[in-house]
Structure 1
Amino acid sequence: MVSPSAKEVFIQGVTSQGRTFRPSDWAERLAGVMSQFRPGGAWLGGHLSYSPWCVPTVINGVKCVVVHRDLQAAEPMAWDFVMNFAKDNDLQVAEACLVPDEKPAKG
């Protein structure tokens, strides 16, 4: 179950049994489908970039999709689609906050 207080949900490319989810480009495909759902709505050419609400990434060697809670507020059906994708494919889901890499101090 996903807590409403989490700002981001991580769908991990690992099943509850610990198996790597296939196909290997699943995260990019899912984020591509969700590219039209973005702040301000869809725009011409928007399908050529990922939505900031649904971004594929790799964390500790595991493919993931980071889904921002703002997607749920703006497009509840899109949120349900992503969460049901994770559930239907038995993927691990974690709540967290993505912390940007620290930039080295200039000196």
Structure 2
Amino acid sequence: MSVLIASFTIIGKTHDGKQFRPSDWADRLCGIMSVFGTDRKMKFSPYVRPGSLPTGEKCVMVDVRLYKLEPLAYNFLVNFAKDNHLRLDYADDSLS
């Protein structure tokens, strides 16, 4: 079985078109990948960032470099999307 390792975006819509809930799911998901800086403020990982698409849908952008640093975290995010039937949009920067 071949697995695509690339940057991807988790889109807050299920495969059947329903909006994923709760509305702050993207911030919560990115929060588990964040750290507290020396200023005692939470900072999102540069590899896992919340955002929104031009259509207004919430999303989480995952950088392929996360796989090299922490493959378990990368796989967790892929499986989160699959388990919740969320749409994934893969970029063209796959690892060989």
CA 1:22–1:78 in structure 2 vs 1: closer, same or farther (change >3 Å)? Answer: same
CA deviations on 1:26-55 (whole Å, 9 max, x unpaired) are 00000000114xxxxx86568701001000
Unaligned 5+ segments in structure 1 are 37-41, 98-107
Query: In structure 1, what is the equivalent of residue 44 of structure 2?
Result: 50
After the TM superposition, which residues 13-32 of structure 1 pair with which residues of structure 2 at under 5 Å, given as runs? 13-32=12-31
The normalised TM-score by structure 2 is: 0.82
Equivalent residue number for residue 9 of structure 2: 10
**Distance in 1, Cα, partners of 2:11 & 2:3:** 14
Q: Retained in 1: the 8 A contact 2:47–2:62?
A: yes
Q: Which has the larger radius of gyration?
A: 1
Query: Which residue is 1:80 aligned to?
Result: 75
User: 2: distance between equivalents of 1:45 and 1:10?
Assistant: 29
The ranges of structure 1 where at least 4 consecutive aligned residues each deviate by more than 2 angstroms after the TM superposition are 1-4, 42-47
Structure 2 residue matching 1:23: 3-state secondary structure: coil
Question: Aligned residue pairs: how many?
Answer: 90
Question: Displacement of 1:96 after TM fit?
Answer: 2.8
* Counterparts of 1:74 and 1:46, CA distance in 2: 24
- Structure 2: unaligned runs, 5 residues or longer: none
Cα deviation, 1:59-90, whole Å, max 9, x if unaligned, reads: 12010000000111110110111111001000
Q: 1:45 to 1:80 in 2, by over 3 A?
A: farther
CA contact (8 A) 1:9 1:94 kept: yes
Asked whether the equivalents of residues 15 and 21 of structure 1 are also in contact (C-alpha less than 8 Å), the reply is yes
What is the RMSD of the two structures over their aligned residues, measured on CA atoms? 2.2
The 3 A distance-change label for structure 1 pair 2 and 95 is: farther
**Structure 1 residue 3, shift from structure 2 partner:** 3.1
Give the TM-score of the pair, scaled to structure 1.
Answer: 0.74
Match of 1:33?
32
- Percent of aligned positions with the same letter in both sequences? 43
